[in-house]
Structure 1
Amino acid sequence: MIDYLRMLRIRDWIKFYPLFPLAGAYLAEGGRYEIMLVLVAYTCIISYAFVVNNYFDADIDRLHRRKMESGTNPLAAGKVSERGVLLLMIALILTPLILSIRLDRLGAAFVVINLLVLTAYSERRIRLKERYLWDGVSHGLMFGALPFLSGYLLSGGDITRGIILISLLFFIVGCEALIAHQIVDYAEDLGSTTTTVTRIGVMNGLLMLGGLAALSLVFAFAAARIYQLSLAVTAASALYLVAYPAYSVRGMLNDISHRPCAERGGADRGDPEVPSEPIPGKRELRDRGSRWGFR
C-alpha cells in the first residue's frame, strides 16, 4: 500500500500546486464546504498528474539509474502492478468528477479539461512534455490557469475581467515553473530528452524566463488596479513575482557569472561547445517533480 502512495509523489507538490485552486475558491468567497471539496478534488487531480506521468514513463525510468535509486516510480521498480496503478488512476479521476458535478457544471467542465491536458502532457502518442513551447503552455494551463478557474467556478464565482487577468497571471507563473526547472536541468536534459530550453539554450531560456516574469508584473498590476489593492500588497506581490523565478535559477545565474561558456556546458543552441541535438541511443528521461516545474 505504501508503494501506491509513493506513486502520488505528494512531497513534490503539496507545498505549491494546491494554492492555485484554493486561491480561486477564496476569491469566489466560497464557504467551508465548497473550499473543502475543491481541496479534495484537486488533491486527487494533482496526484493523478504525477501517477499518470509515472505510468507512461515506467519503461524510460527503468533505464534511469537516479530515478530507480530515488524510488519515485514504484511501477518502474516493479513494486506495484500496472493493473493496480490503472485502478488508482481511475479512482483519482472519478473522485474529482463526482465532487465537481455536485458543485457546478461549468466548473466540472474545467476539471475535465484539466484532466485531459494532464493526460496529454505524459501520454506516449501526444507527449506535450517533449514538444517545443507546448511543454510550457500545457504546464501553465494544467497547474496554473485551469486549477484557479476550476476552484473559482466550483465555489460559485462568476467570470469577470479581473478573474481572467488573474488566471492569465497564474498561467504565466505555471509556464515560468517549467522553464525554470528546465534551465536548472539543462546539463542533464541535453542529449537525453527534448525540452524547450534544450532547443533554445540556457541564455535564451533565461531571457524567456525574464520576459515571462515581466509579463506577470503587467497582469499583476492590472489586477491590483481592478481590485484596488493597497500599495503594500501590490509591491509585495511584484517582489515575489520577480524574486522567486530568479531564486529558482540562482545556481545557473551564478555559473554564468563566474564560469566561461565551455565550463558551464554552453549557453546557446549555436554554441559549438555543446551538441544541440539528442545523443542517439541515450534516452534517460529525467522526470523528477520539483517545487516549481513538473517533468
Structure 2
Amino acid sequence: MIDYLRMLRIGDWIKFYPLFPLAGALLAGGDSAQTIVVLIAYFFMISYAFVVNNYFDADIDRQNRQKVASGKNPLAAGRVDGRGVVLLMTFLVSVPLVLSIRLSPTGTLFIVVNLLLMTAYSASRIRLKERYLWDAASHGLMFGALPFLSSILLVGGEISRGTILISLLFFIVGCEALIAHQIVDYVEDLGSTTTTVTRVGQKNGLLMLGGLAALSVVFALAAARLYQLSLAVAAASALYLMAYPTYSVRGMLNDISHRSSAERGGADRGDSAVPCRPVSGKRELRDRGSRWGLR
C-alpha cells in the first residue's frame, strides 16, 4: 500500500500546484465547503497526473538507476504491478468527476478536459511531454490555467476578462515550471528523451525561461491594475515572479558563473584551456532546484 501511495509523488507538488485551484475558488467567492471540495478534487487530479506519468514512463525509468533508486516510480522498481496502478488511476479519476458533477456541469466539462490533457501529456503515441513547445504549453494549461478556471466555475463563479488575464499568468508560470525542470535535467535528458530544451539547447532554454518570467511580470502588473491592487502587492508579485525561476535553476546559474570565473582566470594567466571542475553541492541543487515540473 505504501508503494502505491508513493506513485502519487505528493511531496513533488503539494506545496505548489494546489495554489492555482485555490486561487480560483477564492477569487470567485466560493464558501469554505465549496473550496474544500475543489481542493479535494484537484488533489486527486494532480495525483492522477503523476501516477499516469509514472505508468507510461516505467520502461524508460527502469533503465535509469538513479530514478529507480529514488523510489519515485515504484512501478519501474517492480514494487507495484501494472494492474494495481490501473485500478489506482481509475479511482483517482472517478473522485473528481463525481465531486464536480455535484457542483457544476460547466465546471465538470473543464475537469474532463483537464484530465484528458493530463493523460495526453504522458500517454504512448501522443506523448505531449516529448513534443517541441507542446510540452510546456500542455504543462501550463493542465497545472496552471485550467485548474484556475475550473475552480471558478465549480464554485459558481463566471469567467471574465480579469479571470482570463490571471489564467494566462498562471499558464505562463506552469510553462516556466517545466522549462526550469528541463534546464536542470538537460544532461540527463540528452540521448534518452526529447524536450523543448534538448531541442533548443540549455543556454537558449535559460533565455526562454527569462522571457517567460518577464512576460509573467507584465501579466501580473496588468492584473494588479485591473483589480486595483496596491503598489506594494504588485511589486511583491513581480519580485516573486522573477525570483521563482531564478531560484529554480540556481544550481545551473552557479555552474555557469563558476565556469565564467575559471575562464577569466585562465585568460589572465594565458592558459589555452581551463578545466572546469563541478560546483560543490551541484547535485543537491540539481535535485531540489526545480522539483515542480512533471517529468
TM-score norm. by structure 1 comes to 0.89
Alignment partner of 1:124 is 2:124: yes
Displacement, 1:254? 2.2
Displacement, 1:188? 1.4
Aligned to 2:169: 169
| Letter of the 1:194 counterpart | T
Note the alpha carbon deviations across 1:144-196, whole angstroms, 9 max, x for none.
00111111111111111000000000000000000011111112112221111
Aligned to 1:245: 245
Aligned to 1:196: 196
Report if aligned partners of 2:137, 2:175 keep a CA contact under 8 Å in 1. Answer: yes
Q: Structure 2 CA distance, aligned partners of 1:290 and 1:48?
A: 20
Displacement, 1:258? 2.6
Larger radius of gyration: 2
Unaligned runs of 5+ in 1: 264-287
Secondary structure, counterpart of 2:69 in structure 1: helix
Q: Structure 2 CA distance, aligned partners of 1:289 and 1:247?
A: 7
Alignment partner of 1:109 is 2:109: yes
More helix by share: 2
Q: Structure 1 CA distance, aligned partners of 2:211 and 2:169?
A: 13
Report if aligned partners of 1:13, 1:290 keep a CA contact under 8 Å in 2. Answer: no
Q: Structure 1 CA distance, aligned partners of 2:167 and 2:67?
A: 34
Q: Structure 2 CA distance, aligned partners of 1:67 and 1:258?
A: 28
Q: Structure 2 CA distance, aligned partners of 1:137 and 1:262?
A: 37
Q: Structure 1 CA distance, aligned partners of 2:109 and 2:146?
A: 10
Alignment partner of 1:214 is 2:214: yes
Unaligned runs of 5+ in 2: 264-287
Q: Structure 1 CA distance, aligned partners of 2:92 and 2:116?
A: 13
Displacement, 1:222? 1.0
Aligned to 1:285: none
Aligned to 1:139: 139
Report if aligned partners of 2:248, 2:290 keep a CA contact under 8 Å in 1. Answer: no
Displacement, 1:257? 2.5
Q: Structure 2 CA distance, aligned partners of 1:20 and 1:261?
A: 40
Displacement, 1:289? 11
5 Å-filtered alignment, 1:149-188, equals: 149-188=149-188
Identity of aligned residues (%): 77
Aligned to 1:64: 64
Note the alpha carbon deviations across 1:80-131, whole angstroms, 9 max, x for none.
1211111110111110001001111111111101100100000011000010
The higher relative CO (CA closer than 8 Å, separation ≥ 6) is in: 1
Q: Structure 1 CA distance, aligned partners of 2:101 and 2:262?
A: 55
Aligned to 1:98: 98
Alignment partner of 1:20 is 2:33: no
Report if aligned partners of 2:17, 2:143 keep a CA contact under 8 Å in 1. Answer: yes
| Letter of the 1:8 counterpart | L
Q: Structure 2 CA distance, aligned partners of 1:216 and 1:98?
A: 34
